[in-house]
């Protein structure tokens, strides 16, 4: 974890821009930083597991900014758990809390992570791991398409449906995707 804290903002070096008002920005520093950290760790001889772990935490360390509005809806909490995974969530929250508390006073949110932890604890009734009732092979077979961006698009739509309603079934998802496909064909 300490190497994650050390390297989590390393991407700011490569991504710094200054806008017309003289304000500095570091857009996408988390992705650039994850790549840089991976290269550094690989040269230092870290295991693939450790590199993946650190890169994932660095890539995700800005995602809690979306909770700055303190709207801890079931859908948002479910998506956080789905995207990050149960095994990394506590470490990500620790990193985000430390990062927030080390910012300039105007940018600090010292109560955000504790509030988010409370919301997640109250949310424990949700299944710990969501499973899509369809996969890419199903989509290719049902829609008669080849592997590619359209399959990923349909899977992303199915994931959004499951995040919105974890009880949604395979047939309902496929029906909604069929409707989207026919609406999309009519728009073309």
pLDDT more than 90, % of the chain: 29
pTM of structure:
0.66
- Pick the last residue of a domain from 84, 104, 128: 128
Angle at 167 between CA 60 and CA 62, to 5 degrees: 10
Q: State how far Cα 159 lies from the chain centre.
A: 13
pLDDT of residue 19: 93
pLDDT of residue 129: 63
Report in angstroms the alpha-carbon separations of 88 from 37, 61, 93, 109.
Answer: 17, 11, 9, 21
Q: Are residues 57 and 71 in the same domain?
A: no
Residue 5: CA count within 13 A, CB half-sphere = 13
Tens digit of each residue's pLDDT (9 = 90 or more) over 10-51: 999 999 999 999 988 899 999 999 999 999 999 999 999 999
If DSSP codes are grouped into helix, strand and coil, which group holds residue 166? coil
Q: What total of structural domains would you count in the chain? A: 3
- Tell me the pLDDT of the chain averaged across its residues: 85
If DSSP codes are grouped into helix, strand and coil, which group holds residue 24? strand
Q: Residues 86-99: what's their mean pLDDT?
A: 88
Domain membership of residue 188 (yes or no) is no
Q: Are residues 43 and 83 in the same domain?
A: no
Q: Are residues 98 and 76 in the same domain?
A: yes
- Pick the last residue of a domain from 109, 128, 147: 128
Q: Are residues 3 and 48 in the same domain?
A: yes
Q: Are residues 86 and 120 in the same domain?
A: yes
Task: Give CA–CA dist 41/119, Å, rounded.
Answer: 34
| Structural domain range at position 56 | 1-61
Q: Give one word for 142, left, alpha or beta, with left for phi > 0 and alpha for psi -120 to 50.
A: alpha
> Comparing 10-19, 89-98, 121-130, which segment has the lowest mean pLDDT?
121-130
- Pick the last residue of a domain from 10, 39, 61: 61
Q: Are residues 54 and 76 in the same domain?
A: no
Q: Are residues 76 and 39 in the same domain?
A: no
Q: Are residues 71 and 117 in the same domain?
A: yes
If DSSP codes are grouped into helix, strand and coil, which group holds residue 87? helix
């Amino acid at each position: 974890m300490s190497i994650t804290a050390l390297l989590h903002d390393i991407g700011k070096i490569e991504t710094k821009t200054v806008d017309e008002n003289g304000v500095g920005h570091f857009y996408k520093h988390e992705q650039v930083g994850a790549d840089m950290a991976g290269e550094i760790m690989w040269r230092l001889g870290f295991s693939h597991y450790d590199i993946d772990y650190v890169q994932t935490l660095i890539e995700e360390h800005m995602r809690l900014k979306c909770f700055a509005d303190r709207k801890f809806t079931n859908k948002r909490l479910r998506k956080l758990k789905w995207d990050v995974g149960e095994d990394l969530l506590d470490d990500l929250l620790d990193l985000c809390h430390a990062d927030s508390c080390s910012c300039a006073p105007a940018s600090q949110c010292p109560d955000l992570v504790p509030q988010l932890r409370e919301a997640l604890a109250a949310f424990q009734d949700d299944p710990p791991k969501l499973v899509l009732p369809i996969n890419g092979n199903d989509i290719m077979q049902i829609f008669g398409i080849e592997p590619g961006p359209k399959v990923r698009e349909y899977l992303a739509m199915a994931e959004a449906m499951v995040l919105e309603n974890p009880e949604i079934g395979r047939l309902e998802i496929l029906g909604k995707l069929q409707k989207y496909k026919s609406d999309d064909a009519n728009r073309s």
